[in-house]
Structure 1
Amino acid sequence: MSWEEMLTTVQESLITYWDGLVGSLPKLGAALFLIFLTWGAVTLARAFIRKLGSKTRMRKNLTDVLSMLAGTGLWLMGTLIALAIVFPSITPGKALTTLGLGSVAIGFAFKDTFENFLAGILILLREPFAIGDHVECDDIEGQIEEITIRDTHVRQTDGQLVVVPNHLLFQNPVTVRTNRDLRRTTIICGVAYGENVDDARSVIEAAVREVDSVRNDVKDVQVFAQEFAASSINFEVTWWTGSQPLDIRTSRDQVVAAVKRALDDAGIEIPFPYRTLTFNEPIPVREQGAQDEAA
C-alpha cells in the first residue's frame, strides 16, 4: 500500500468517525441533560432526607446513611438510562447483568469491607445502641463515641479508644448496660455465726435504704441470707441505682461504708476467717517451768 492510499484510508476513517460523532451529538446531549437532572434529583432527595431527619430528631449518622443510599440509587438509575440513550444496544437489563457478574468478583475481593458496611447500615437502622451508651462485647467494654458505616468507636473506662469493626458488634452478643436509667447491683456481706440472722438482716436493710444513691423509691432493697460460709453467714444485698459505671462504683462504695458502720454500731460482728484444727491423736503438752526444773 502506497502512502497516498494510506492517507486516503486514514482520511476516510476520520470522516466516518466525525460523522458518527456528529450524529451522536443529540444522544450525547440528551444523556448529559439526563445526568444533570439526576444530579438535581440527588441534591433534592438528600436535602429532603436531612430536613425530615431534623424534624423527626433522627440521628445524624442514620440520616447520612439514608442520604447516601438514596443518592446511590438515583445515580445508578440515571447512569443506566443515560448509557441506554447513547448506546441503544446496552439495555438497563444487560447493564445490570454485567454489574451483577462483576459484583461477585468485587464481593469476594472486598468481603470484609462489604460485611462491615452492611452491618453498619443495619446497626444504624435498627439502633440496638446509641452514642453515649455503655456496652460490652467480647473483651471490649466502654462508651460508644461514634458509629460510622464501617466501624464503631468505643471509649474504654481507662481512656483508651477501641475501633471495633461493625460486623463484630452485629454478629456477637452485645450487652448494653445503659439501655435503662437504672441497673441492679449486688454485694455479699457476712456476719458471724453467733449473731442473730434476723437482726443482722434488718440492720443491713435499714442501712442500705438510707444511702442517697440507692433508688429504693423505684424498686425495694433486697437482703437474703445466701449461704453458710466457712466463717460467716453470707447475705446477698441487692439494690438499684444509676446505670452508668461511675454510678455503680459510687453507690457500691457508699453502701459498703454504710453497712459496715451500721453493723459496728449495732455490735454485730463481721468475722475474720476462722480456722479450727483437729488432730487424730492427743498432743503432749509440757509446761515451761517443769522443763526448767528437769534441766
Structure 2
Amino acid sequence: MQNWMQQFNNSFNNLTEKLEGWVNSIVVAVPNLILAAIVLAIGIFLARYVNKYVQKIITRFSDNRSVNSLISSVFTAVFVLMVIMIVLSILQLDTALQSLLAGAGVAGLAIGLALQDPIVNLFSGIMMSTKRSFHLGDLVESNDFFGTIKSINLRSTVIETLQGQEVIIPNKITYQNPFKNYSTNNRRRIDLSCGVSYGDDLEKVRDLAIKTIERSVTITKGSEVELFFNEFGSSSINFTLLFWIDDYRQKNYLKAQSDAIIAIKKAFDENDIMIPFPIRTLDFGIKGGEKIADALPREVTAGRINNHR
C-alpha cells in the first residue's frame, strides 16, 4: 500500500512539473505569439497591395490578362511564403521550418518532373507576352502554318489559317522555333516572276514593266519598283519584279499581285513583247523527225484517205 502511494505521488509530481513547464513556456511565448500574429496580419493585409502593384507594373510590358494575373499571383504567393517563414522564425520553429522546406523541395521536384511540358509551355507563353513578339490579329507563319493569331493563352497559341481552320500550337514549340510576323512593318513586298523571249529588247522590257507597275499598283511611298534579270531559261530570259505595298493583309497582297500580272500582260501585248511558253515537239518513228504519215503503215494511211473520200 505504501509503495502504491509513493508511486502515485511521484507520478502526480511529474505531471505537475510538466504542467508548470508548459504554463511557463506559454507565458514566455505569449510575446512571441502576439508578435507573430501581428506580423501575419500585416503580411496578409499587404499581400493585396503587392498583387495590385505587381499587376500594374506587368501591364506596362504585357497585354495578356491571364499571364499578368498569373505573374502577379506568383509574386503574391512568394511574398506570403516569406511572411510565413518570418512568423515561424519568431515562434522559434526553425526545425519545423527546415523540415517544411525540405518536404516542399522534394514535392516540388516530383511535381516539376511530372508537369515539365505544361510548365515549359506556361513560361514560354509568359516570355512571348512580355517580349511583345506578336499580338492578336497579326498575320504570322509559325511551324509551317500561315494565318492570323486568334488567341494566346498560358498553354498554347491559336492560329486561324486563311482557309478558316484553327491550329493549336503549344507555346514551347512557338517560342523555340523561328516564326514570321507579316504585321510588324505594316507592309509587304511582292516578288513577281516572269520571262520574255530572246528576241525582245531587255532594256525596253525593264523600263516598260517598271512604269506599268508604278501607274497600275499603289506602291509604298518613297519606295522603288525594281527589276532584275536572273537567268537564261530554256525558252525565255527570266526576271523578277520587286515592289512594296502598304498593307500586310493577305487579301490585299493577292489583289495587288493579280493587278500587277494583268497590267504587265496587257502592256507587253500592246508593245509586241512576247511572254514565251514551253513548246513540245513530237517525233514519230525510231529515227525521229518523221512526219506522222510517213511513220504509219501505208495500209492505214490509205484507209484513212478512202474514208475521207
Q: State whether residues 62 and 130 of structure 2, in contact with CA within 8 Å, keep that contact through their aligned partners in structure 1.
A: no
Amino acid at match of 2:254: R
1:205, distance to aligned residue in structure 2 (A): 0.9
Indicate whether 1:161 and 2:148 are aligned: no
After TM superposition, the structure 1 = structure 2 runs for residues 201-212 of structure 1, keeping only pairs within 5 Å, are 201-212=206-217
Q: Quick one: distance in 1 between partners of 2:171 and 2:30?
A: 47
Alpha-carbon offset, residue 141 of structure 1: 2.4
Find out whether 1:233 has 2:237 as its counterpart: yes
How far residue 87 of structure 1 moved from its aligned partner, in angstroms, is 6.5
1:281, distance to aligned residue in structure 2 (A)? 6.0
Distance 1:48 1:281, change over 3 A: closer
Q: What amino acid sits opposite 1:219 in the alignment? A: S
> Could you tell me how far 1:49 is from its partner in structure 2?
3.4
State the structure with more CA Rg: 2
SS in 2 for 1:181: coil
User: What are the residue-to-residue correspondences of 1:1-295 with 2, within 5 Å?
Assistant: 31=36, 33-52=38-57, 56=60, 58-61=62-65, 63-85=68-90, 88-90=93-95, 92=97, 94-215=99-220, 217-241=221-245, 242-276=247-281, 280=287, 283=290
SS of residue paired to 1:69 = helix
User: 1-side partners of 2:162 and 2:84: how far apart?
Assistant: 48
Q: Which 10-residue stretch deviates more, 43-52 or 203-212?
A: 43-52
Amino acid at match of 1:237: L
What is the root-mean-square deviation in Å for CA atoms of aligned residues?
Answer: 3.5
Cα distance per residue 1:169-195 (max 9 Å; x no partner): 122122222222222221211222332
The 1:30/1:110 distance shift into structure 2, 3 A limit, reads farther
Q: Is the partner of 2:213 in helix, strand or coil?
A: helix
The range that moved more, 279-288 or 190-199, is 279-288
Deviation (angstroms), 1:198 = 1.6
Percentage of identical aligned residues: 26
The offset of 1:236, in angstroms, is: 0.8
Deviation digits for residues 218-270 of structure 1 (CA, Å, limit 9, x no counterpart): 32111111222232222211111223323322221121122112112222222
1:137·1:175 contact (CA, 8 Å) conserved in 2?
yes
8 A Cα contact 2:190 2:242, kept in partner: yes
Distance in 2, matches of 1:123 and 1:151, equals: 11
Deviates more, 1:114-123 or 1:44-53: 44-53
Letter in 2 for 1:210: R
Structure 2 CA distance for aligned equivalents of residues 228 and 89 of structure 1: 83
Distance 2:31 2:118 in 1: 41
**Structure 1 stretch displaced more, 108-117 or 149-158:** 149-158
In structure 2, relative to structure 1, the CA distance for the partners of 1:211 and 1:79 (3 Å cut) is farther
The alignment's TM-score, normalised by the length of structure 1, stands at 0.77
* Unpaired stretches in structure 1, ≥5 consecutive residues: 1-11
Partner SS for 1:249 = helix
- Counterpart of 1:157, as a letter, is L
Contact preservation (8 Å) 1:150, 1:165 = yes
Q: Is the 8 A contact 1:84 1:90 kept in 2?
A: no
Partner of 1:210: helix, strand, or coil? helix
Instruction: Tell me: CA distance 1:167–1:53, structure 2 relative to 1, closer, same or farther (3 Å).
Output: closer
